[in-house]
Chains A and B, each alone.
Chain A
Amino acid sequence: MYDITSREVWTEWCRQRVTYAMLLIAVAFGVLGLRLVYLQVFQGERLHQLSENNAIRLESLDPTRGRIMDSHGEILADNRPRFDICLIPRDAKPRDAILPLLASLLEMDETEIEKKIGKAASFKPVLIKGDVGRDVLGIVEARRYELPGVVVRVKPQRHFPGQGTTAHIVGYLSEISLDELRSGSYPNRKPGDFIGKYGVEKEFESYLAGRHGGRQVEADARGRTVRIMDTVPPKPGANVFLSLDMRLQKKAEELLDGRPGAIVAVEADTGRILAMVSSPTYDPNLFVDGMTQKQWNELIKDPDHPLENKAIHGGYAPGSTFKMITAMAGLEEGKIDSHTEYNCPGRLKFGDRYFRCWRHWGHGSLEVTEAIAQSCDVFFYKVGLDVGVDKIAEYARGCGLGQVTGLGLGNESPGVVPDKAWKRRVYNKPWYQGETLSVAIGQGANLTTPLQMALLAAAIGNGGSLYRPIMVDRVESPEGDVIQAFSPTIRTKLPVSMANLELIREGMWGAVNGPRGTARGICPESLAISGKTGTAQVVGRKDRDKFLNELTDKIKYQDHAWFIAYAPREDCKIAVAVFIKHGGHGTACAPLARDIIKEYMDGKNPPGAKDASTPAETPENLDETDLQDRE
């Protein structure tokens, strides 16, 4: 292999190769040197001139952010022009003449401006006062010639015309943080840019943001643009259309009237969300325009947690709205059938304890459909004991509980479906049979979200299809081309046969329309609403009276109220879940669901819905004790 026979041959060979290499390097460095001479000697004067004037600058051009609209094109997030007064320190000469004038025009302290400029004699504009009104702008513009170095920067600013109504869905923007910049997820962003931090604004950031443009400008010695050399126009963001119907959304907000709670309405045969209101709400404009420390404190210290989207976050015990699942488990597991009758004397003895029914004088003997309609606790205690907690949990999961629905707005809570394994995992304790009784009627460790319950109601209504919820219908380019559309997808089928599902539907029909239903009388039969009330205990029943009697802030110990419904009974179109925190009992929610459904139906077929609009009997007119779901 070796061609080198001796040290002499090697040395000679090496000398030759090294000489070639040195020649090549010399030539390459010669080229570099010549280029240096060309730039620094022949072009030197011209380039020096350019650098003296600092003629060529790069200005960023911000894109307009895409808009967010409801399904009818009503604008929920828009842009408005924002005027910033900035100062280019290098150009502001003489400074001691400009600063006092500027300070007086902007009604600021001169030292404050000096602090903002700092020591850097930079050509970068420094923000002096942001988002000034048109009056201030006019004054500054009029005296522009006395203010060299002062520039007005116009930027599009996010604006939410709907204010709080859709705050939890649309979300908000705020300034990009250092960590977000460093993360690399926002490659084209710079400090000071606003990005979506929550809701649709966050999840659809990449569509909404658009792309920055910019231009190279030649400026004169006073910092004014003389010539625009090159421009790359910014690319506006795409528009996002929600499935939301603002008419229903506003109605729902109005109905909740600031009470803490949530309303979710979905299109039953698609999973498209028509309304999702969490109450109380907040004004998302505050996040963009800037809020004071006091405003922020008020927001985060409010005991009703306005920032929390109660429709998908928290997780609350579903109360009796869970009884459909217990019924499903009992029927499907063959523990009961449509004729199985249990007697309810008002309580059930289990071990050495009595478990009470909300109707303490009892329901007498009833079958499953009546048990649902009248929300009999004892009936479901018995079914629960027969089926066992693990089976109940299995059916609950089959109905979409204990898992996120896939809404994709962030921070969605999966809720809790308790079973033996869960308790061992979380508490490292064995399951007690008594707990099964609580779980069977939707109390205990059960936690669900209003969104999950609305989707469950829709699935029961549409014949068993559990849909993935759709909040964003489509994304359109600024030119109106559909970039992405979201079509309905079925997550799963409810684990129940058609015949058994029909029994459950019968029970829910009876709850609203039957002679002894827990929500009877809330609406005329023409609306064809089927539903189920629910009351979630906040404290144990034994302690409850004590709390309610002795404590001043008794509202904290009032039960949560639920009502889930779908309509019309056949050919189901809409499903609704209403949840009111500390709302007392489920019947408090029922009229709200009715009004949403009525609003929706009126929109569907405006004429001829006369009978539906007659004011229905409200629970207040009825016998209180009779209506109470659980007591």
Chain B
Amino acid sequence: MFDRRLLQYFDWGLLLLILIIMGVGLMTLYSAVASSANPAEIRIYYKQLTWFGIGLGAMIICFLPHYNVLDRWVWVVYAISLFLLILVLVVGKKISGSVRWLSLGPFTYQPSEFAKLAIMVVLAHHYSQNIRTGGLGFVDLIKPFIYMLIPFVLIFMEPDLGTGLLVMLVGGAMTLFVGIRKRTMAWLAAFCAAIGPIAWIYGLKPYQKARIFTFLDPDRDPLGAGYHIIQSKIAIGSGMLTGKGYLQGSQKSLAFLPEQHTDFIFSVFAEEWGLAGSLVLLFLFLMLMIWGLNIAYRSRDPFGALLATGVTAMIFWQVFINVGMVMGLMPVVGVPLPLVSYGGSSVLTIMMGLGLLLNISMRRFLFE
């Protein structure tokens, strides 16, 4: 059953790139937690190691079977994802006001993360059968929009606006990739402009609005997000050209940086490695994306191409929003930096996505 050619075509380069980024991630996480005032935080590092192990397992599971299995089982994947999202609303574990996690013994998992993968598979399946070289019209967008809207609403109810928006952004990126007619695009833009104020008034929770206000004016919330952003900018900026050196970051060791092991991990890295290191890290991510798009380009069928695009889009958005956020370019929304931020659910999702990329990549030479 296992084709020996697969081993020959295995994308060792992509795997190497993934392992390098994972290494950078572990190293940075160690720096973030090792100097913490609370020695117990070091266990975060070991937990992340465990998650990486689980993630590698999931990655292997994701590249062994042919990816067109997903094309056939697409609705099962989608149903499981929606079921988990509903389950979390019913029996989920409440952490600081939000119900986002399912408990599995010592581990907790966010089903909203899995929804990102599910929406990729669904849209790849749908668009692969409906590609129009002239671009999609308004009517063509209705179905995909509903596919995206259902998980979005469920995630929004948790509430987890960040992950919900990511689902929409990943779906939106795939849709844009397939192409939209110019006229439809104009209509959509007008529609968004009209719906925006309504969504603002009725859709957003006060704290979510506050975050956006804080972004526009950091002094508004000097103790919360505003403070985080100021400290994060100080950390990044103080790294200057070459950084303060590994484990030498003073901002982070003084615990001025909040949530430094999750959303603000890039600040820790940028402080210690400076502009040189930060550009290298961004370049590694850029390579990953180019690699992903290249796989899309070379894949042998539209489903594979779209799936690869989806994975790339997910990584792109997370990197762009997270790094933009810690540098004060964007409001603070909880989006982790792939493979670097601490967090099991995120690691698992990203590594499953990368497993799919490897899957598509090594099967690009096969013909049925």
Contacts and interface: CB of A to CB of B under 8 A. Distances in A.
A460 B88 CA distance: 51
A29 B282 CA distance: 8
Contacts of B222: 214-216, 229-232
Contact of B236 (A15, A33, A39, A56): A39
Interface stretch (A18-26, A147-155, A373-381): A18-26
Interface stretch (A46-54, A69-77, A269-277, A607-615): A46-54
B250 to A, nearest CB: 6
Given A25-B286, A122-B37, A1 B327 contact: no
Given A18-B296, A22-B290, A32-B323, A123 B254 contact: yes
Contact of A40 (B96, B236, B290, B309): B236
Interface in B82-137: 94-97, 129-134
Interface string B317-345: 00010011001010000000000000000
Given A4-B133, A47-B234, A52 B250 contact: yes
A22 B293 contact: yes
A425 B238 CA distance: 71
Contact of A44 (B94, B241, B289): B241
Contacts of A10: 302
Interface size class of A (residues with CB under 8 A): 35 or more
B227 interface: yes
Secondary structure of the A contact surface, majority rule: helix
B134, B237, B271 — most chain A CB neighbours (10 Å): B237
Contacts of B164: none
A230 B133 contact: no
B133 A3 contact: yes
Contacts of A556: none
A124 interface: yes
Contacts of B133: 3-4, 9, 13
Contacts of B275: 36-37, 40-41
Contact of B223 (A48, A50, A214): A214
B151 interface: no
B171 interface: no
A215 B219 CA distance: 11
A21 B237 contact: no
Contact of A32 (B132, B254, B282, B294): B282
A230 B130 contact: no
B234 A50 contact: yes
Nearest to A43: B237
Interface string A118-133: 0010111000000000
Given A32-B282, A184-B96, A216-B223, A40 B231 contact: no
B274 interface: yes
B260 to A, nearest CB: 14
Interface of A: 1-4, 9-10, 13-15, 17-18, 21-22, 25-26, 28-29, 31-33, 35-37, 39-41, 43-48, 50-52, 54, 56-58, 90, 120, 122-124, 184, 187, 213-216, 229-232
17 contacts: A2-B129, A3-B133, A13-B133, A29-B286, A32-B324, A33-B279, A35-B329, A46-B237, A47-B233, A51-B237, A51-B238, A56-B231, A58-B227, A90-B254, A124-B255, A229-B222, A231-B222
Nearest first, the 6 A-B pairs at minimum CB distance are: A47-B237, A230-B222, A51-B238, A44-B240, A48-B238, A40-B275
Given A3-B132, A56-B231, A57-B256, 19 more contacts: A3-B134, A18-B297, A21-B309, A25-B293, A32-B323, A35-B324, A36-B275, A39-B233, A39-B237, A40-B275, A45-B240, A51-B250, A51-B251, A52-B250, A56-B230, A58-B223, A214-B222, A229-B222, A232-B222
